[in-house]
Structure 1
Amino acid sequence: MTTIESIEERGYTNSYLADQHADQLARLRTLERVFDPLSQAAFDWLDLPRKPAILDLGAGAGSLAGWLSKQYPGATVTATDIDTRFLLDIPGIQVVTHNARTDDFPAASFDVVHARALLCHLSEREHILARAVRWVRPGGWLVIEDVSLQPSLNTANPLFRKVAQAGITLLEQSIGSDMLWAETLPGRLSAQGLSNVGHRTFEGRIGDNSPADTFWAATTAQAGPALLKLGLVTQDDLDAMINLRADPAFSDAALTFVSAWGQVL
């Protein structure tokens, strides 16, 4: 079997999820359609000053950062990413090229620090989480949202389980992702000393033509060449999975999205 190391350097920016991929913007748009309403709802729980300073860490294609700039008129919304190509044309935000692994911010810089679908993909996630707490002003909020793929491992369908496990293995080996980490988020925020910790969860399904189904399909299609190269699945598996998703009799839980927040006192 081909190894990860023989293909490319390990890490997000060299993976099939990186922004230079031809289909990445379209895939990120499917992610936004699933998760933006949930992220927006998380901000409803926060007591913010009239003109907050907000950091959207790893802002991706920027839809949430753009929404924040409209939702909080007068706010300073800083959107960061290691690759900012999709953020440059969004009005009302400040764009900063930033590597969450290595780049810092001064302590107490923001009223809110938000990260979505980011820390699960970074092996230094615990260290970054601790640093992000320091970036929040007293009375401010840390909002971490991430995806768990545990539901896809619980399926009774052997084909779906095989493809899901292959995707998790690819993410673990090529990026360093932990696709079960999200389920521990509330406890991890409490362990960081945050107060007023709260969370909400959302179950995303496949086979039902929902936004979550579209996101799952786009991500799996983008992963296809890497999955095949590593021998984690066959082309017959991928073709059969497409047919399974199209079967009106099939629908199953694929992911859990966890929104968690806590206040720095």
Structure 2
Amino acid sequence: MTTTDSTEEFGYTSSYLADPHAGQLARLRTLERAFDPLSHAVFNQLDLVQKPAILDLGAGAGSLAGWLGKRYPDATVTATDIDTRFLTDIPGIEVMTHNAATDGFPAASFDVVHARALLCHLGEREDILTRAATWVRPGGWLVIEDVSLRPSLRTANPVFRKVAQAGITLLEQTIGSDMLWADTLPDGLRDRGLYRVGHRTLEGRIGDNGPADAFWAATTAQAGPALLKRQLLTQDDLDAMVNLRADPGFTEAALTFVSAWGQVT
């Protein structure tokens, strides 16, 4: 029987994914290395106004915000997060403490609003998506990027499937994450009246020592104590997954990085 501590706090900021965790910066760096190439490709295809005002919502460790400041040197790039400890000393950006679930911006404040690996973890994701569209000026862009773990549920490998399902369950139970929500992003933008909606995906594999593999391994390792505490996995399960990833004959799709964008009327 799975037991939990009823006194545990619920939500991202009190979870094993929160910024105060000792390994969080290193984990975020693995996410950046895996996701940045897709994010760069998406922004490179957007037609932006001169001197755009860009909001990077939930900027994390700031690699994309810093890149945006270099890519658009005449832009105003505002990087926000509920915890901005990793956003210091990044040239070319303005930093603001901001809770996407409760804080807003005036209508038509930005030419681009971007969020990455954020909304899937917030129970208010649909409301935030609706509000974020209003923060974009007419003709501007809403760019939402997130992670889908659907590929991990398709595996026939029993060890990988057990660990993947346990990770998804942990995210649901402790944070309220929906790790399949990213698959709906293009339709979500269309439903809010955006046009010129497009999307791109990037497959992330484990067992190949690539960027996505490093991100998956770092996140699973950081989740280990919580998985054991909630009896979702045993130490033998975690050890078996480490051995599986180290097997030269093993590699499988584990996640999909999804980017979706649309223009505001």
Paired residue secondary structure (2:90) = coil
Query: Displacement of 1:222 after TM fit?
Result: 0.1
Does structure 2 conserve the Cα–Cα contact (< 8 Å) formed by 1:78 and 1:93?
yes
Q: Distance in 1 between matches of 2:70 and 2:62?
A: 13
Residue of structure 1 equivalent to 2:63: 63
Q: Distance in 2 between matches of 1:89 and 1:234?
A: 41
Question: Contact between 1:27 and 1:218, CA under 8 Å: does it hold in 2?
Answer: yes
CA distance in structure 1 between the partners assigned to 2:5 and 2:52 by the alignment = 44
Matched-pair contact (CA < 8 Å) for 2:204–2:253: yes
Alignment pair present for 1:123 and 2:118:
no
Q: Secondary structure at the match of 1:248?
A: coil
* Counterparts of 1:71 and 1:155, CA distance in 2: 39
Structure 2 match to 1:10? 10
Alignment correspondent of 1:111: 111
Shift of the alpha carbon at 1:88? 1.6
Quote the offset at 1:167 in angstroms.
0.3
- Give the equivalent residue in structure 2 for 1:153: 153
Preserved CA contact (<8 Å) 1:2 1:229 = no
Sort the Cα spacing of 1:4 and 1:146 in 2 relative to 1 into closer, same or farther, 3 A.
farther
Residue 23 of structure 1: aligned partner: 23
What is residue 241 of structure 1 aligned with on the other side?
A: 241
Q: Does the CA-based 8 Å contact 2:3-2:231 persist in structure 1?
A: no
TM-score with structure 2 setting the length:
0.98
Which consecutive unaligned segments of at least 5 residues does structure 2 have?
A: none
| Alpha-carbon distance in structure 2 between the residues aligned to 1:97 and 1:202 | 30
Conserved in 2, the CA contact under 8 Å of 1:4 and 1:10? no
1:197-216 paired onto structure 2 within 5 Å: 197-216=197-216
RMSD value, Cα: 0.9
Deviations 1:47-78 (A, max 9, x none): 10121000000000000000000000110000
Question: The residue matched to 2:45 in structure 1 has which SS?
Answer: coil
Correspondence 1:82-97 to 2 at 5 A? 82-97=82-97
Match of 2:145, SS?
strand
**Alpha-carbon distance in 1 for matches of 2:217, 2:6:** 27
Structure 1 residues without counterparts, runs of 5 or longer: none
Distance 1:146 1:7 in 2: 30
Aligned length: 265
**1:174-253 residue pairs with structure 2 within 5 A?**
174-253=174-253
Structure-2 separation of matches of 1:40 and 1:92: 17
Q: SS at the partner of 1:44?
A: helix
Letter in structure 1 aligned against 2:188: R
Over the matched positions of the two proteins, sequence identity in percent amounts to: 81
Find out whether 1:39 has 2:39 as its counterpart. Answer: yes
What is the alpha-carbon distance in structure 1 between the residues aligned to residue 186 and residue 13 of structure 2? 28
CA distance in 1, matches of 2:27, 2:225: 16
Tell whether the 8 Å contact from 2:201 to 2:257 is kept in structure 1 after alignment: yes
Q: Report if aligned partners of 1:143, 1:259 keep a CA contact under 8 Å in 2.
A: yes
Q: Distance in 2 between matches of 1:224 and 1:231?
A: 11
